[in-house]
Structure 1
Amino acid sequence: MKQPIFLEPLFQERIWGGSKLSKTYGYQIPSNQTGECWAISAHSNGPSVVRSGELKGRSLAKLWEEYPDLFGHFESDRFPLLTKILDANDDLSVQVHPNDEYANEYEYGELGKTECWYIIDCNEDAEMIFGHHAQSKEEFIHMVKQSHWDDLLQRVKIKPGDFFYVPSGTIHALCKGTLVLETQQSSDTTYRVYDYNRRDNEGNLRELHLEKAIEVINVPHKATEIHPALAQTSGGSITTFVEEDYFTVYKWHVQTTMEFIQDAHFMLGSVIEGQGSLYTEEGEFALQKGDHFILPNELSSFKIKGNVQIIASHPNYKGGQHHDMGSTAKQMANV
């Protein structure tokens, strides 16, 4: 197949959710407490289905099992990534995610959860919780027991266009007034550390997972530095945000026309702004704000026209060689 596979997003209501997914992208959301758009997902808690074409109605999980050629026979027992858009209308719980080894042992074979965030939009004074100030687990436990949250938690200011890499073991939380595109491992395991004594719709305090959280947190906190690389072309630009064990993430900003060479097994794309068209040898495919798609393995080259911004990603092998997507950026820069 040499054309994009467009997917229908699935929505998750959350206590901290809002209505921006409807207002910003025109999605039909279930309520005004909709926190998550699971845009590209083969996870059992929210699988995507194909929107159109000969594969219409099939789940991404089934495509992974039945059509391995689409994904270049990527060596994984499951679709490795999950793309979301999060509407933090209120503060999320302070949380942490396990790594692969811990999740496999204690979460019934689930993957760990390393993730990253692209800030689509946020309030002028928005911030996020990213890390902590404890120098040992004993100090961390003491500060938690004493509810010294302001002293423990590290807050950072954010603005639209910022990018954060959040490895497993990192204490973090999105805060009120933030719209984020998240690229992550295909996992739904979260350990809550603190939830502002918030109650659910039935009046119950939400469950915390302190014992597991303390086992998996990184102490002391050390932010992983990222160095985004910008490649300008006559038709736009490509920013490579991060290239790590599990994924590589880019922003494609097409302003007129850009040609692309794909040398990854397959790619994921989410249109966060604008509109345009994607051209392959099989035809023209419209791109609208809020669209999500997969570029299958056989689609080795394509062209995008329009004024459109896309967050794109592809999986990497943990511990293996990363794809040299820098060479792709250089090829595109020569267009």
Structure 2
Amino acid sequence: MKNTLYPLKFHPILKDKIWGGEKLKSLLHKDSKLPNVGESWEISDVDGDTSIVSNGSLESQSLKHLLNTYKADLIGEKNYRQFGDKFPLLIKFIDAKEDLSIQLHPNDELAAKRHNSFGKTEMWYVMQADKDANLIVDFNQKMTPELYLEHLNNNSLTEILNFDKVKTGDTYFIEVGRVHAIGAGVLLAEIQQTSDITYRIYDWDRTDDAGNARELHTELAIDAIGFDMPDNFRVSYDTTFNQSNALVSCPYFTTNYLKVDTELARENTYDSFMIYICVDGEAEIKIGEVTQIIKKGETILIPAAITTFQIVAEDATLLEVYV
């Protein structure tokens, strides 16, 4: 007999990274003894890194098992027809103590052909940024494959990259093919397709503890880079209280900004699961007599079968995500 579905929380999957720091532990209260925690995978169905439920009667069950068991009740009819027993999104928090590598992601066609994977369209919401911290997104001039390779081979790639100083609340949409990197001092929430395929094109000449340079993907990347993409990666949005303010809407996910200081009735009309990522404050998710608290640095999945609920908060900032 199936248990009744309810708002689901998961154990974070923490990743030690050469560029990681302490903010996931100190600011978002992730429990880890890892020295350089760079990523907290909040909801994941990546092979080998499947999320495990941390609350309620389904505690200790995997997201994969839930999909196999509840199917459309978990993710929605249209999503189940499209994705089957594969959860379509990966939700992360990322702390860059040092600059991440300059990288990009392949589109669905290339990722399927080369890696049997989805592509990796993603977005970033900056939760905290140190003074003068930046993101690298795209090029600072009109680019061609020839000019790109000239700078890559001359070790002068950074001269043609676009650096943006950022602050809390800045939001970026990173389409497949767009060259990008998270700069040192940035803590952000990332929403992306379920994929772990990254083409690294430059890594600041870093080496690991054994003195080895990290692998670069120069040949794979050249066919995947978008050399003539529009300057539309910075996201402008409204911040009206107690309503969904559009951030990003694309074929892979929709994300809204939600600032709550009251009891707010929500209705799921999307035939989709809904995810809430708490980026500031804390809120209660109420369904009948059942209440689940979500605090800054936490993420909750509301199954598609739950169509009405309330969000109660005195002062909370949430990202609302669905497909």
TM-score above 0.5? yes
* Residue 237 (structure 1) shift: 4.0
1:240 aligned to 2:241? no
* Residue 255 (structure 1) shift: 1.1
> Counterpart in 2 of 1:55?
58
1:119 aligned to 2:126? yes
Structure 1 unaligned spans of 5+: 316-335
> Counterpart in 2 of 1:93?
101
Report how many aligned residue pairs link the two structures: 312
* Residue 245 (structure 1) shift: 1.1
1:17 aligned to 2:20? yes
- Match for residue 170 of structure 1 among 173, 178, 184: 178
Deviates more, 1:80-89 or 1:153-162: 153-162
Percent identical residues: 31
Deviates more, 1:294-303 or 1:169-178: 294-303
* Residue 155 (structure 1) shift: 1.1
CA RMSD of aligned residues (A): 1.6
- Match for residue 71 of structure 1 among 43, 58, 75: 75
How far apart, CA to CA, are the structure 2 residues paired with 1:72 and 1:163?
27
How far apart, CA to CA, are the structure 2 residues paired with 1:232 and 1:142?
47
* Residue 6 (structure 1) shift: 1.2
Structure 1, residues 63-118: CA drift from partner, whole Å, max 9, x if none? 122211222232213110000000000000000100010011111x1111000000
Which residue type is aligned with residue 72 of structure 1? Answer: G
Residues 258-269 of structure 1 aligned to structure 2 (within 5 Å): 258-264=264-270, 265-269=272-276
Deviates more, 1:147-156 or 1:78-87: 147-156
1:254 aligned to 2:260? yes
1:44 aligned to 2:47? yes
How far apart, CA to CA, are the structure 2 residues paired with 1:173 and 1:119?
13
Structure 1, residues 9-63: CA drift from partner, whole Å, max 9, x if none? 1101100001100101211123231100000111114211101212111111221
How far apart, CA to CA, are the structure 1 residues paired with 2:195 and 2:186?
22
Structure 2 unaligned spans of 5+: none
1:211 aligned to 2:215? no
Secondary structure at 1:179 match in 2: strand
Which residue type is aligned with residue 311 of structure 1? Answer: L
Secondary structure at 1:103 match in 2: helix
TM-score if structure 2 supplies the norm length?
A: 0.92
Which residue type is aligned with residue 164 of structure 1? Answer: Y
> Counterpart in 2 of 1:323?
none
TM-score if structure 1 supplies the norm length?
A: 0.89
